Amino acid sequence: MMAERVAMRMKTIQHFEALPTGEQPVFCAIGMFDGLHLGHQSVLKHLIDQARSTKGLSVVLTFQTHPAALLTPDRSPKLIYPTDYKQALLESIGVDIAWMIPFDKRLSQMSAEDFVEKIRHYTRHLSGISVGSNFSFGCQRQGNVDLLKECGKDHGFQVEGKVPLHYGEDLVSSTRIRHLIQSGDIEMTSRLLGRPYSLMGQVISGDGLGRKLGFPTANLDCQQLALPPLGVYAITCNIEGQERDGVLNIGKRPTLNHTEPKLQVEAHFWDFEMNLYGKRIGLEIKGRLRGERRFPDVDSLKSQIKKDIKHAQCMLEEIR
């Protein structure tokens, strides 16, 4: 039975509407789940175990964008992973249904009670809800775990408010992980994620400068993501089943003296030629080579790139 479950593909529902649950009991976790870190994994493992023990369905209700992007856009956090990668991770751990709804104005104005009632209505046979112990929801964050438990008593479903996981003296949280990424602590980031940290992004068209310099690059769209500090990094990337080595530059190309420099995230893979435009790739950061620097001219920049490649090759060889 377990093998059959694993083989099933996760269903993804992208609107706040009825789910294809049939007569099966439903166990639903609610949250943003950005990064799907160790704390999230603990909650979802318990959820999946509950569903499988009752021949029910595990459902994760999450959002396509962070609620803060609508409610407090000036303070909206950068994300750890893009939505489609979060979806892939949910499927990989065995979730049956990803309920990835848009957080829009209508939802933001919905009362906490109406939100719960819609979940009950759309899931048909709601048996349990799992959230973090500090979870709040509904218009002006009026709902909390206590309100969920009251609703559960009235309508026959269990509610679990999971206490946050600690790593060391601090909580495992998406906020903590974003700060770690932005400060450059990739090792601790990977520990709290429970997997090697990868910078995920879709390959987009660049200005072709890398190719002109002799180092063609894959330019990634990472505008919505938390980024490591500006600089050059040694990376690996799994491309169509093969691990490729490369260097990653995160920066504004100060040597070029642009009047309005834009932040670039660009990766160069040596001994590799393939059109990656439009593909979503993940760059696993193995180590920092140097910070961003301004060079006196383009030739000096080219010389430094060659040194960066040699440095990265040595670093990656040592790691292996």
Let me know: does 62 contact 95? Beta carbons within 8 Å: no
| pLDDT given at position 274 | 81
**Selection from 22, 4, 15, 11 nearest residue 91 by Cα:** 11
- Does residue 205 share a domain with residue 278? yes
- Does residue 214 share a domain with residue 165? no
- Does residue 36 share a domain with residue 126? yes
- Does residue 143 share a domain with residue 38? yes
Position 209: which residue type?
A: L
Q: Is residue 188 part of a domain?
A: no
| pLDDT given at position 175 | 96
CATH number at residue 95: 3.40.50.620
Q: Is residue 263 part of a domain?
A: yes
| pLDDT given at position 280 | 93
Let me know: does 48 contact 154? Beta carbons within 8 Å: no
Q: Which residues of the chain have pLDDT under 70?
A: 1-8
Q: pLDDT tens-digit profile of 264-287?
A: 999 999 988 788 999 999 999 999
- DSSP letters, 19-87, are -S-TTS-EEEEES--TT--HHHHHHHHHHHHHHHHTT-EEEEEEESS-THHHH-GGGPPPBSS-HHHHH
Q: pLDDT tens-digit profile of 120-159?
A: 999 999 999 999 999 999 999 999 999 999 999 999 999 9
CATH number at residue 231: 2.40.30.30
Euclidean distance between CA atoms 45 and 276, whole angstroms: 35
| pLDDT given at position 210 | 86
| pLDDT given at position 209 | 82
| pLDDT given at position 117 | 96
| pLDDT given at position 7 | 47
Sign of the Cα pseudo-torsion (18, 98, 150, 153, in order): positive
What is the reported pTM?
Answer: 0.92
Q: Is residue 178 part of a domain?
A: no
- Does residue 280 share a domain with residue 140? no
| pLDDT given at position 5 | 43
259 is in which domain, residue-wise? 197-319
Which two tokens mark 284?
């696993």
The number of domains in the chain is: 2
